[in-house]
Amino acid sequence: MRALFLGTAAAEGYPAIFCECAHCSAARARGGRNIRRRSALMVNDDLLIDIGPDLVASMHDAGANFARVATLLITHAHGDHFHLPNLYMRRSNFCATTPAQMEVFGTPPTIGATQAEAQARDLSEEEFRLRLNTIQPGDSWQTGRYRVTAFPAAHAEELIAVFFAIEEDGRTLLYASDTGPFPDETWQRLQDFQFDCAIIESTMGIGPPGTHHLSMEQCAEHHQRLKDEGLLKPGARQLATHFSHNRTPPYLECVEYFAPHGIEPAYDGLVVQM
């Protein structure tokens, strides 16, 4: 299993679009791994998590090809994770070739918004070359070669936010973006897994603990709990993602902060091979 980070920033990007704070100014000056697009992750060449507004630029930078993506998992319908116009580009008048049939999985607010937009434009799922599937937190299902489980997230309750475990050929990935402290029911369900790679958000940076996002300290605590409860395989990769400029320092400072915890701060374009 291969994971490609297409974006590792929070909603405003990093540096933020209109901001000249010390973190944003340092990121602009240093460039490279300090420049972060809105979050998305690609698994192998056929599964995509989230479809935000930076996806075209991320594709170009990473040399990715989305034509073979057959499964799209959407964590929730906030605009930095779900930019519906991206799906318009699958229509025949925008796409000269036929992309793979795409199975889209999201909770009711996400799928409902997609269906409402299609109806308003008098478009069908066939024209988008996709199939919409409504899921609920706690669901587990097979899609192609993957087994996917959706966990309840402590985030955007009105949007029923979730995060995912993805299993393929004996490898298991945890991708927990946009959540506060994991709910008890999520920790209970996690007991059924052992992960080769765990990716957990740290939006709140170096600061007070969050309730709908995690600070860097909380991110480290969640990773430690995965270890303590035997939920990581020997040699499992542990990473942090979804960084906001507000309290998160630039890349090298993040490396220094997380190093004692055995955690790597992800960056745009990072490839993790499991």
Q: Is 141 helix (H, G, I), strand (E, B) or coil?
A: strand
State pLDDT tens for residues 10-29: 999 999 999 999 999 999 99
User: pLDDT per residue over 158-202, tens digit each?
Assistant: 999 999 999 999 999 999 999 999 999 999 999 999 999 999 999
Rounded to a whole number, what is the distance in angstroms from the first to the last CA of the chain?
Answer: 5
- Name residues whose C-beta falls within 8 Å of residue 33's C-beta, 6 or more positions apart in sequence: 251, 267, 268
- Read off the pLDDT band of 128 (50, 70, 90): confident
Q: Quick one: pLDDT at residue 231? A: 98
* pLDDT, tens digit (0-9, with 9 covering 90-100), for 221-263: 999 999 999 999 999 999 999 999 999 999 999 999 999 999 9
Give dist(CA 224, CA 216) in Å, integer.
12
User: pLDDT-based confidence at 122, cuts 50/70/90?
Assistant: confident
Q: Are 201 and 213 in contact (CB under 8 A)?
A: yes
Compare 265 and 129 and report the one with higher pLDDT: 265
- C-alpha–C-alpha distance, residues 4 and 43, integer Å: 6
What confidence score (pLDDT) does residue 135 get? 98
Is the sign of the CA dihedral 14, 71, 145, 225 positive or negative?
positive
Taking only the tens place, the pLDDT of each residue in 192-215 is 999 999 999 999 999 999 999 999
pLDDT score of 118: 83
pLDDT class of 124 with cuts at 50, 70, 90: confident
pTM greater than 0.95: yes
pLDDT at 78: 97
pLDDT band at 127 (very low <50, low <70, confident <90, very high): confident
- The string of pLDDT tens digits covering residues 91-117 is 888 999 988 899 999 999 999 999 998
Alpha carbon distance 168, 164 (integer Å)? 13
Residues in the chain: 274
| Amino acid at site 214 | L
Contact 110, 81 (CB under 8 A): no
Task: Yes or no: say if 85 and 53 are a contact pair by the CB < 8 Å rule.
Answer: no
Using one digit for the tens of pLDDT, what is the confidence trace for 129-158? 899 999 999 999 999 999 999 999 999 999
Residue with tokens 């996690």: 190
User: Tokens at residue 183, please?
Assistant: 């709910």
Strands (E) located in 144-204: 146-152, 162-168, 171-176, 195-201
Mean pLDDT of 263-272: 98
* Exposed/middle/buried for residue 59 (C-beta within 10 Å: 0-12, 13-18, 19+): middle
What pLDDT, on a 0 to 100 scale, did the predictor assign at position 62?
A: 95
Q: What is the pLDDT of residues 38-67, one digit of tens each?
A: 999 999 999 999 999 999 999 999 999 999
Residue 261 pLDDT: 98
Given a contact cutoff of 8 angstroms between Cβ atoms, the answer to whether 48 and 69 are in contact is: yes
3 state SS of 258? helix
- Residue 126, pLDDT score: 85
What pLDDT does 121 receive? Answer: 79
Q: Residue 196 and residue 166: Cα distance in Å, rounded?
A: 10
Candidates 47, 14, 41; CA nearest to 146 is 47
Residue 120 predicted with pLDDT over 90? no
Quick one: tokens of 31?
């460039």
